[in-house]
Amino acid sequence: DKQRKWWHKSVIYQVYPRSFYDTNGDGIGDIKGIIQKIDYIKDLGADVIWLSPVYQSPNVDNGYDISDYYSILPEFGTMEDMDKLLLESQKREMRIIIDLVVNHTSDQHKWFLEAKKSKNNPYRDYYIWRDPVDGREPNELKSNFGGSAWEFDEHTNQYYLHFYSKEQPDLNWGNKQMRQSIWNMMNFWINKGIGGFRMDVIDLIGKEPDKLIKENGPKLHEYLQEMNKHTFGGKDLLTVGETWGATTANGKLYSDPKRNELSMIFQFEHMQLDKMKGKQRWDLKKLDLRELKQVLSKWQYALDKEGWNSLFWNNHDLPRIVSRWGNDREYRVQSAKMLATLLHGMKGTPYIYQGEEIGMTNATFDSVEDYLDIETQNIYRERIEAGFKKEEIMKAFYMKARDNARTPMQWSADKNAGFTTGSPWMKLNSNYTQINVESAIKDSDSVFYYYQKLIHIRKNNENLIYGTYCLLDPEDESIYAYERNFENKKLLIVCNFYDQERSFKFPVSSKDKVQILISNYDDSSLNVQNLQLRPYEAIIYEII
């Protein structure tokens, strides 16, 4: 069936290299470290690694500010190390997808260094420059990291656009030669044998700053089709776009195979349910399970036929899910498994972010200096100036700061969690003595083995991959239950999101025989018409 793609069956593991594993004691994770731990990822059952940026970079935004797309940051290793990583993954029938950061470059990229020299430099138009208006910024566009999106360049008396830090100038996608430079670079990596691309903030490339358009600009899909045609189109690679501004309507545009754009996107609606409407994500509101059901189900229904979903709870920008929708205190293990069940039971390609598979939790640092992320530092300054109390700001960081996910991977209970023999670039989460890979591997009841089992079941169950999703009981405030249906087979998935007992009744006939595929309690009931679920209990049933 040519509708079927290898990545429908894949499970992707995201590696944030700086915090994964350090092999030379400089306190920074490196490519050799990924090679050393690749069998760990393979054992988990993931067959694709999404590698966050390892390119040359001044590291203002941890590598998302690239100064040379064709070389590797020495802290991470060499191009030989990268080639070796590709080879080692191919040996294991695994693939590496790399981060494509092309909405902006670093201000140290040679294109920008050239562009800054003069208004008629050949690279000037690779970026977006505007004259001052009444001696000020051209308009009120804001940077996602706080402050104006415009930075004044004294040498040429113009402002340049940056949607992230001022060290990350935005590329001008209206420039055809610029686009050609990007296609060349992508083809360089494709020829090296990568498995695909994760495309950073790709929904911004159609920006029209004079009309105040950031996301979803009029030419966005045209550029993606052009990219597809000149690079990965016809090559059977996996492409996933990071699109904070995606709606189900444009979600179809990206991932409908007939349109030749991307394999799938990351939509973020389900990640913004704890944010007050119209406010910043630091302005928190209480979570409501009914909203989560509504959002995830909407995406499941919308892309059932004409597209494909990605499924994720975590990445390097998001707080840890077990500290968010789960319970990282009394029920850490049960709730981590429950959240995994919910996600891997759905239709789409699941992503796992390093540490999720052992139930790593948010970090809670006392001092704001321990938060190294440029976004957190900028927001702190901005909010202090705006009159917020320090405690309030810190509380929001405990819940939402990106550094929650960026603390070093917890490999063992040894010093620095076995991540490095030197001094780590970032503070560790102090709970590594309890939560670490070594103890998870020793404990047959660990979150790790649960993920491994889930992945294995999914790979061998067509219904889990292709079955149609159907939400049950949208108004239930504590249970998330749904069905998957494929040919004449039915799966029932039920998840209790709270630390209380709850009852639930599946609408099945009394003639149906059921079996349990997986559960996070070892004695879950088969009486699906009348279930008493324990705290965070989660079960996948198959009707036989």
Q: Which of 28, 48, 73, 318 binds Ca ion (CB under 5 A)?
A: 28
Candidates 29-37, 54-62, 474-482, 532-540; binding stretch for Ca ion (CB under 5 A): 29-37
Q: How far is the CB of 375 from ligand TEU (least distance, A)?
A: 6
Q: How far apart are the first and last CA of the chain?
A: 26
Q: Is 114 helix (H, G, I), strand (E, B) or coil?
A: helix
Q: How far is the CB of 67 from ligand TEU (least distance, A)?
A: 13
Partner from Ca ion, ligand TEU, none contacting 297, C-beta within 5 to 8 A by type? none
Nearer to ligand TEU, 101 or 246 (CB): 101
Radius of gyration of the chain (CA): 23
Geometric angle at alpha carbon 375, from 358 and 319, rounded to 5°: 25
Taking the least distance from each CB to ligand TEU, the nearer of 164 and 506 is 164
- Smallest gap from Cβ 257 to ligand TEU, in A, equals 25
Instruction: State how far the Cα of 53 lies from the Cα of 56, in Å rounded to an integer.
Output: 9
Q: Identify the CA nearest to 310 among candidates 371, 244, 264, 246.
A: 264
Q: Which does 64 bind (CB under 5 to 8 A by kind): Ca ion, ligand TEU, none?
A: ligand TEU
Q: CB of 136 within 8 A of CB of 129?
A: no
**Residue 406: CB minimum distance to Ca ion, A:** 16
Bridge partners, 517 (sequence order) = none
Integer CA distances (angstroms), 454 to 45, 357, 438, in order? 9, 11, 20
Closer of 123 and 164 to ligand TEU (Cβ): 164
Indicate which residue of 75, 242, 274, 483 is catalytic: 242
Provide the minimum distance between the beta carbon of 198 and ligand TEU in the complex, in angstroms, as a whole number.
9
Task: Report the alpha-carbon distance of residue 497 to residue 487 in Å, rounded.
Answer: 30
Separation of alpha carbons 472 and 487, rounded Å: 19
What is the C-alpha to C-alpha distance for residues 240 and 310, in angstroms, rounded to an integer? 8
Among 5, 8, 26, 439, binds Ca ion (CB under 5 A): 26
Report 505-524 residues binding Ca ion (CB under 5 A): none
Report in angstroms how near the CB of residue 323 gets to ligand TEU at its nearest.
16
Q: Which of 30, 226, 261, 328 binds Ca ion (CB under 5 A)?
A: 30
For residue 283, what are the CA distances in angstroms to 153, 225, 262, 329? 33, 37, 33, 24
What are the strands, taking DSSP E only, across 354-478? 468-472
Choose from ligand TEU, Ca ion, none: what does 30 bind? Cβ within 5-8 Å by kind: Ca ion
Smallest separation, CB 23 to Ca ion (Å): 6
Nearer Cβ to Ca ion (26/114) = 26
Between 26 and 473, CB nearer to Ca ion = 26
Known catalytic membership, residue 137: no
Contact 465, 458 (CB under 8 A): yes
- Residue 32's binding partner out of ligand TEU, Ca ion, none, with CB under 5 to 8 Å set by partner kind: none
Q: Out of 47, 81, 200, 403, pick the active-site residue.
A: 200
Q: At what angle do helices 220-230 and 176-192 cross, to 10 degrees?
A: 40
Binding site partner of 61, from Ca ion, ligand TEU, none, Cβ cut-off 5-8 A by kind: ligand TEU
Smallest gap from residue 28 Cβ to Ca ion (A):
4
Q: Which residue has the tokens 């009444």?
A: 134
Alpha helices in 156-306 (DSSP H): 176-192, 220-230, 248-255, 289-302
402, interface contact from ligand TEU, Ca ion, none, CB < 5-8 Å by kind: ligand TEU
Helices 79-91 and 176-192 meet at what angle, rounded to 10? 60
CB of 99 to ligand TEU, least distance (A): 8
Identity at 74, one-letter amino acid code: P
**Residue 36 contacts Ca ion per CB under 5 A:** no
Q: Rule CB under 6 A: which residues touch ligand TEU? A: 61, 64, 101, 144, 164, 200-201, 242, 244, 281, 316-317, 402
Contact segment (CB under 5 A) with Ca ion among 24-32, 154-162, 231-239, 269-277 equals 24-32
Task: Note whether 73 binds Ca ion by CB under 5 A.
Answer: no
201 interface partner picked from ligand TEU, Ca ion, none, CB below 5 to 8 A per type: ligand TEU
Of the candidates 24, 144, 439, 478, which one interacts with Ca ion according to CB under 5 A? 24
Report what 167 binds from Ca ion, ligand TEU, none; CB cut-off 5-8 Å by kind.
Answer: none
Burial class (CB in 10 A: 0-12, 13-18, 19+), 225: middle
Whether 242 sits among the annotated catalytic residues: the reply is yes
| Binding partner at 281 among ligand TEU, Ca ion, none, C-beta below 5 to 8 Å by kind | ligand TEU
| Nearest-angstrom CA–CA distance, 498 and 53 | 37
Which positions ≥6 away from 6 have C-beta within 8 Å?
236, 238
Residue 406: both structure tokens together: 């960026």
Closest residue to Ca ion, based on beta-carbon distance? 30
Q: Pick from 420, 383, 425, 419: which is nearest to 400 by CA? A: 383
387 by DSSP, 3-state: which? coil
Say how many CA atoms lie within 13 Å of 291 toward its Cβ. Answer: 12
CB of 146 or CB of 233, closer to ligand TEU:
146
Chain contacts with Ca ion (rule: CB under 5 A): 22, 24, 26, 28, 30
The catalytic site residues sit at 200, 242
